[in-house]
Amino acid sequence: MQEPLPADQEVEAQQLAALLSEATREDLLRLARTLVASRETSPFGDTEFEARDILLRAAARAYERFLAQKKNGYEGASVTCPHCRQAAAYHGDHARALVGLFGTLRYRRAYYYCRRCGRGCAPFDQRAGITPRQLTPALEQLATLAGTAGDSFERAAGLLEEMAGVRLSEATVARTTEDAGTRLAHLLGEGTTFGPAREWGWHADARGRSVAYLTVDSTGTRQQGPGGARAEGRMAYVAGVYNPPPLEWLRPPGPVPRLQARYLSGLYPLAALGPLLRRQALQVGMEGAELWVALTDGGGGLESFCRQNFNRPDLVLILDFYHAASYLGKLARALHPQQEEQARAQAEQWCRLLKEEGGAATLAVLRQWDWPARQPAALREQRAAVEEYFGNNLHRMEYPEYLAEGWHTGSGVVESACKTVVGQRLKGAGMRWGTDGAHALCHLRALYRSEKGQWEAFWRRQLHNRPTVQQLN
């Protein structure tokens, strides 16, 4: 239900409605013709797309008519220059075009020019949140969503056109998305969190203790150096706090609870990620969980990162089971290089051993294995790799114990965090990124993959925290 307007505004609205119907008369006539002509075929399908385009154009005309009546951003003879805080003088109304959800709109808005720093400003654009590429905030949000969720910026532009009926170039989608990601990174760096603090309902383990999980992993991105030259790939970190559904045998009957997760990602040094992740943990009430479990693979520095940033004496450190198991898979393939079936059966047997007896027992069995007398280099190398990886991580490979406690020992979350947050978007075939672009996209991907509400809260904040232009008299 629409709230009734105060009487004077209602009069204005009535007058505007008359103007709008006049401004859109041509468009509505076209729509009527399209519908009548579709009688032979169908008013739906292709006709729907045609009708949408016509209606979007009509909406654009309506907006234009509305804006044409207003003094868009005229605030007197001068305003405070946003760059140097001196007076910037009014220099007339300038015609501009912007692109919004209804396509291109033409409008005029007051323009102020600062002679001191030689820069102009338009209070209307600033207040309305028009982007440097002249997009409205609503279109900026959709372009960024497409740029974040789509496989590439080119695909994103196609997605936007098909879903929203708005055409933007690939370059505009790319630039808009990267700008939004850069702002997001900046806000997180300042300590901003999105949405209200809310303690998750942490699920209980076998002894009834509520458990919170955290994870951190690294993944490579392909980078492009200056002038398009190949450059050394930078590592992106992906970290998260999460509340997974209980293990199956601990799950109450009924629907499986939804995974709750907050991710963070960027081309950070590992140390810089700590405060950012702790802030997310604080916002979801991780302090309230009785036990913390940190799941990582054997990557350099990950375990100490968890110890330093989530420093509880009873912090449980677990080596992600799937990473450990992948070492056994490779070892089995090196032992049976030509026999896929045998390799698979051997890997399964070793993984079962790892799960049921733990890392130390598995390593002992492997050391006493009846290895062939003559071993190819690949097998020798993989044996050494297992020896080193297991040897370094035995203290967090007590899988039978963890499972008996009802803890996750690896999960889709850990295994797929890197893949879904970064890999799917940043490692597409032939994709190369500049450092800034990759950093920005990592942040957006992490927000986008986080629990429902985070993405929306970021955009609501964008809308409601605009700089205002001060008026000078």
CB of 122 to Zn ion, least distance (A): 14
Under DSSP, is residue 229 helix (H, G, I), strand (E, B) or coil? coil
Contact window for Zn ion (CB under 5 A) among 44-52, 109-117, 253-261, 356-364: 109-117
Give the span between the Cα atoms of 391 and 416, in whole angstroms.
Answer: 25
Give the one residue of 16, 87, 117, 353 binding Zn ion; rule: CB under 5 A: 117
Verify binding: residue 54, Zn ion, rule CB under 5 A. Answer: no
Report whether 421 contacts 442 (CB < 8 A): yes
Order of strands across the sheet that contains 87-100: 119-121, 103-114, 87-100, 78-80, 471-472
Tokens of 38: 């579709």
Bridge partners (DSSP) of residue 241 are 214, 262
Verify binding: residue 469, Zn ion, rule CB under 5 A. Answer: no
Report whether 213 contacts 295 (CB < 8 A): yes
Residue 116 or 251 with smaller CB distance to Zn ion = 116
Pairing of the two strands 78-80 and 316-319: unpaired
CB of 116 to Zn ion, least distance (A): 5
Residue 81 or 173 with smaller CB distance to Zn ion = 81
CB of 109 to Zn ion, least distance (A): 19
Strands (E), 196-269: 211-224, 230-243, 260-266
Report whether 463 contacts 70 (CB < 8 A): no
Q: For Zn ion, how many residues bind (rule: CB under 5 A)?
A: 6
Contact window for Zn ion (CB under 5 A) among 75-83, 217-225, 332-340, 362-370: 75-83
Verify binding: residue 470, Zn ion, rule CB under 5 A. Answer: no
Verify binding: residue 294, Zn ion, rule CB under 5 A. Answer: no
Residue 114 or 264 with smaller CB distance to Zn ion = 114
DSSP assignment of 341-359, as one string? Answer: HHHHHHHHHHHHHHHHH-H
Residue carrying the six token digits 């979801």: 284
CB of 114 to Zn ion, least distance (A): 3
Give the one residue of 5, 68, 77, 84 binding Zn ion; rule: CB under 5 A: 84
By the 10 Å C-beta count (0-12 exposed, 13-18 middle, 19+ buried), 468 is classed as exposed
CB of 78 to Zn ion, least distance (A): 11
CB of 120 to Zn ion, least distance (A): 9
Residue 11 or 84 with smaller CB distance to Zn ion = 84
| Residue 370, phi-psi category: left (phi > 0), alpha (psi -120 to 50), beta (remainder) | beta
Verify binding: residue 81, Zn ion, rule CB under 5 A. Answer: yes
Contact window for Zn ion (CB under 5 A) among 93-101, 117-125, 225-233, 445-453: 117-125
- Maximum Cα–Cα distance across the chain: 96
Contact window for Zn ion (CB under 5 A) among 76-84, 262-270, 322-330, 449-457: 76-84
CB of 130 to Zn ion, least distance (A): 20
For the chain, the C-alpha Rg in angstroms (whole number) is 29
CB of 113 to Zn ion, least distance (A): 9
Contact window for Zn ion (CB under 5 A) among 108-116, 140-148, 182-190, 454-462: 108-116
Verify binding: residue 120, Zn ion, rule CB under 5 A. Answer: no
Verify binding: residue 114, Zn ion, rule CB under 5 A. Answer: yes
Give the span between the Cα atoms of 375 and 372, in whole angstroms.
Answer: 6
CB atoms within 10 A of CB 147: 30
Give the one residue of 65, 83, 127, 460 binding Zn ion; rule: CB under 5 A: 83
Contact window for Zn ion (CB under 5 A) among 112-120, 136-144, 172-180, 307-315: 112-120
Give the span between the Cα atoms of 57 and 65, in whole angstroms.
Answer: 12
Strands (E), 55-165: 78-80, 87-100, 103-114, 119-121
Residue 116 or 230 with smaller CB distance to Zn ion = 116
Task: Catalog residues that contact Zn ion under the rule CB under 5 A.
Answer: 81, 83-84, 114, 116-117
